[in-house]
Amino acid sequence: MRHLLTAAVVILSLHSIAYAEGNIVPNSGFEELKGFSGENPAGWWSWNSEYNGLTSESGRTGDQSVYISSAPSRGSHSGILYRYRNVVPGKTYVFSCFVLNSSKDPISGDAYGQLSIEWLKNERETERTWGIIWGPETSKTDWTRQEMTATAPAEADACNFVIQFFRRDGSGAYYADDATVEVK
C-alpha cells in the first residue's frame, strides 16, 4: 500500500511540474473557490475588491470567471493580480486572458480594460510594462483573447500579472477567464 501511495505522489508531482512548464499561473480558469461570488480567485489578489471578484454569471470554461467593474470615482481603477516569485531577468513572459464585455453593464465612454506586468525587486515595484487595452468595442457575445509580451528587466526577482479596469470618464464591467503566462 505504501508503495502504491508513493507511486501516486510521484505521478502527481510530475504532473504538476509538467503543468507549470506550460502555464505558470495557478487557478487560470478561476474555478476555485467555487461559489464564493465576489471573492478573490484562489491564488490571486485584488484591489478595490468591492468592484471585482469571482462570478458564475459567465464563464468561457467551467462555471466561473472573474468580473472587473468600474469603481465610483473618475480616475479610479480596480483589478486582480497574480504575484509570481520566480522571475528570471532576460526571460520573456507571454501573458494572456480571454475577456467578454458585460451585457448588463457594458464598457462605456473611454473606460477600458488592460493587461500589465509590474516588475518587482525586494517586494517593491521597479518598473511596469503596459499591455493591450480593450474598450467599449469589446464583444458581449464572443470571448476575445488579449495578449501581451514582456521581457523581465535586469534585477527583477518577482512580478505581478495584472488584469485591470480603468474608469476614466466611462464606466462598465467585463469578465475575464483562462489567464495564462508562458515563459519563453
Among 52, 177, 179, 180, interactor with Ca ion by CB under 5 A: 177
Among 23, 61, 126, 149, interactor with Ca ion by CB under 5 A: 61
Rounded least distance, CB 69 to Ca ion, Å: 18
99-119: string of b/e by CB count within 10 Å (b at 16+)? bbbbeeebbeeebbbbbbbbb
Rounded least distance, CB 100 to Ca ion, Å: 11
Q: Which residue has the cell 493580480?
A: 81
Q: How far apart are CA 27 and CA 179, in angstroms?
A: 8
Toward Ca ion, which CB reaches closer, 65 or 69? Answer: 65
Whether 170 contacts 108, CB under 8 Å: yes
62 in contact with Ca ion (CB under 5 A): yes
Rounded alpha-carbon distances, angstroms, from residue 156 to 22, 70, 78, 107, 169:
21, 31, 24, 34, 34
Rounded least distance, CB 40 to Ca ion, Å: 15
Whether 117 contacts 129, CB under 8 Å: yes
Sites for Ca ion among residues 16-55 (CB under 5 A): 29-30
Binding region for Ca ion (CB under 5 A) out of 2-10, 56-64, 99-107, 141-149: 56-64
Among 59, 113, 135, 170, interactor with Ca ion by CB under 5 A: 59
Q: Which residue has the cell 495564462?
A: 180
Rounded least distance, CB 102 to Ca ion, Å: 16
- Phi, psi for 142 (deg, rounded to 5): -120, 130
Number of shown-chain residues binding Ca ion (CB under 5 A): 7
Rounded least distance, CB 90 to Ca ion, Å: 32
Binding residues (CB under 5 A) for Ca ion: these are: 29-30, 59, 61-62, 64, 177
